[in-house]
């Protein structure tokens, strides 16, 4: 893939017709190293956030050896990476997916119901009897606090039913774990403290020996409209919560970051095809990589990369409209850009590496991107890179 110093250099060299994904594998590598050096346990990358081979390669190169997969296609893909441990952490799996996963050597599974436990046991039972090497994680529901995307209504078990499920799972599991997901883009660490408090109560209620704790994903990235707490405060809160748990001393701890490992490692470079007042019509949108901007109101950082404007020119708030015929293909922002921006200009939209390309579809004939590697720094960083515009959150 072509390497370029920056989005400006890309636009100066060629004025691309398609939207361009600018990859920064070095940013994924930096995020992975930060997690590996500072998280008190194993770091499993949540594959669904972005499965570009360039980014997976950077994460692997930095030392990531655990992957959280959630579907059969994901796990078949990830199973081709040498020397990794996969964890099948979707609480509702098809029987055929469980069977195939077990055949591929996967031993970690999550579940949040007795029905799912039965499915796992039945589908992993072989000629010589039930599997004796399962690592089963009971997924519990925890309150989402300060999360952009809460998940507790869809998955997780709680109260007496959770205690019962822990006891039943203990009877068939070689190793018993507890897992939760506080919700994506969680802005502050309290959610993890609350969740580990729930874990504590449940272990006492069930009276089981717990071998593994998986604190899930949810770690934040930074966007134009959000300044989350530093990641170090999340890790401190998690370490303190685990320290208090009534579990064996050598309990194995894991986390499953998706967003925090890859958000900074891609930018989208789009062209302005029309300007109407402060509305800009661009060549990617809600059905492409900007789903979160359209449907969840994310305000990604933006800057114009097609020409120099005088430093005195003010920035103005803009709304963005995607290229499809659909009227919900709209990103409200506000996105701050030079007041003189016009048709034919190009914009870099930063920090779209998590759940950007992963979600993009091909509605209305769109959904095709050029890709290049960018060698400069992400527009905003959680990892202390002092870049133009300033890091939102200097960590170290």
Ligand X SMILES: *Cc1c(COP(=O)(O)O)cnc(C)c1O
Q: Can you give the binding site for ligand X, defined by CB under 6 A?
A: 46, 48-49, 68, 70, 89, 181, 184, 216-219, 256-260, 354
Nearer to ligand X, 261 or 347 (CB): 261
Shortest Cβ 112–ligand X spacing (Å): 11
CA–CA dist 81, 92 (Å, integer): 24
Residue 7: CB minimum distance to ligand X, A = 25
Q: Which CB, 217 or 301, lies closer to ligand X? A: 217
Q: How far is the CB of 66 from ligand X (least distance, A)?
A: 12
3-state SS record for the chain: CCEECCHHHHHHHCCCCCCEEEECHHHHHHHHHHHHHHCCCEEEEEHHHCCCHHHHHHHHHHCCCEEEECCHHHHHHHCCCCCCEEEECCCCCCHHHHHHHHHCCCCEEEECCHHHHHHHHHHHCECCECCCCCEEEEEECCCCCCEEECCCCCCCECHHHHHHHHHHHHHHCCEEEEECCCCEEECCCHHHHHHHHHHHHHHHHHCCCCCEEECCCCCCCCECCECCCCHHHHHHHHHHHHHCCCCCCCCEEEECCCHHHHHHHEEEEEEEEEEECCEEEECCCCCCCCHHHHHCCCCCCEEECCCCCCCCCCEEEEEEECCCCCCCCEEEEEEEEECCCCCCCEEEECCCCCCCCCCCCCHHHCCCCEEEEECCCCCCCCCCCCCCCCCCCCCC
Q: At its nearest, how many Å lie between ligand X and the CB of residue 355? A: 7
Shorter beta-carbon distance to ligand X: residue 88 or 321: 88
Give the nearest distance from C-beta 71 to ligand X in angstroms.
Answer: 11
What the block records as the tokens of 343 is 């048709």
Compare residues 189 and 258 and give the one whose CB is closer to ligand X.
258
257 or 322: whose CB is closer to ligand X?
257
Between 102 and 137, CB nearer to ligand X: 137
Question: In angstroms, rounded to a whole number, what is the distance separating the alpha carbons of residues 71 and 77?
Answer: 10
Closer Cβ to ligand X, 188 or 278, answer by number: 188
Q: How far is the CB of 159 from ligand X (least distance, A)?
A: 21
Q: Which is nearer to ligand X, 180 or 318 (CB)?
A: 180
Q: Please, which residue, 28 or 282, has the CB nearer to ligand X? A: 28
Least separation in angstroms between residue 69's CB and ligand X is: 10
Question: Would residue 277 be called left, alpha or beta, if left means φ above 0 and alpha means ψ between -120 and 50 degrees?
Answer: left
Tokens, residue 379? 């527009």
| Least distance to ligand X, CB of residue 218, Å | 5
C-beta of 251: minimal distance to ligand X in Å?
19
């Amino acid at each position: 893939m072509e390497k370029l110093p920056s989005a400006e250099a890309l636009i100066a060299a060629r004025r691309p017709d398609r939207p361009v994904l600018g990859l920064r594998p070095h940013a994924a590598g930096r995020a992975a190293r930060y997690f590996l050096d500072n998280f008190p346990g194993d770091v499993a990358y949540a594959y669904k956030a972005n499965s570009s081979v360039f980014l997976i390669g950077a994460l692997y190169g930095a030392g990531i050896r655990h992957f959280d997969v959630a579907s059969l296609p994901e796990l078949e893909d990830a199973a081709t990476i040498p020397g990794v441990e996969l964890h099948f952490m979707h609480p509702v799996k098809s029987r055929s997916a469980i069977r195939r996963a077990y055949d591929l050597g996967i031993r970690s599974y999550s579940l949040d119901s007795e029905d799912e436990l039965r499915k796992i046991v039945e589908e992993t039972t072989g000629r010589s009897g039930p599997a004796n090497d399962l690592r089963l994680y009971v997924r519990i529901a925890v309150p989402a606090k300060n999360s952009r995307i809460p998940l507790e209504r869809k998955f997780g078990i709680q109260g007496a039913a959770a205690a019962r499920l822990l006891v039943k799972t203990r009877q068939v599991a070689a190793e018993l774990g507890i897992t939760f997901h506080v919700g994506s883009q969680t802005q502050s660490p309290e959610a993890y403290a609350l969740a580990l408090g729930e874990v504590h109560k449940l272990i006492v209620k069930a009276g089981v020996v717990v071998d593994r704790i998986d604190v899930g994903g949810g770690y934040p990235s930074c966007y134009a409209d959000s300044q989350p707490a530093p990641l170090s405060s999340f890790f401190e809160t998690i370490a303190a919560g685990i320290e208090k748990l009534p579990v064996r001393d050598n309990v194995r701890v894991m986390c499953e970051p998706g967003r925090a490992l890859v958000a900074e490692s891609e930018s989208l470079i789009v062209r302005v095809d029309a300007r109407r007042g402060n509305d800009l019509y661009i060549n990617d949108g809600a059905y492409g990589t900007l789903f979160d901007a359209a449907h969840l109101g994310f305000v990604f950082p933006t800057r114009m990369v097609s020409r120099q404007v005088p430093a005195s020119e003010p920035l103005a708030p803009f709304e963005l409209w995607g290229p499809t015929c659909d009227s919900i293909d709209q990103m409200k922002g506000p996105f701050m850009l030079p007041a003189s921006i016009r048709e034919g200009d190009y914009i870099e939209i930063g920090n779209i590496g998590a759940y950007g390309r992963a979600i993009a579809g091909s509605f209305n004939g769109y959904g095709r991107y050029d890709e290049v590697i960018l060698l400069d720094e992400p527009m905003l960083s959680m990892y202390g890179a002092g870049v133009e515009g300033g890091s939102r959150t200097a960590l170290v």
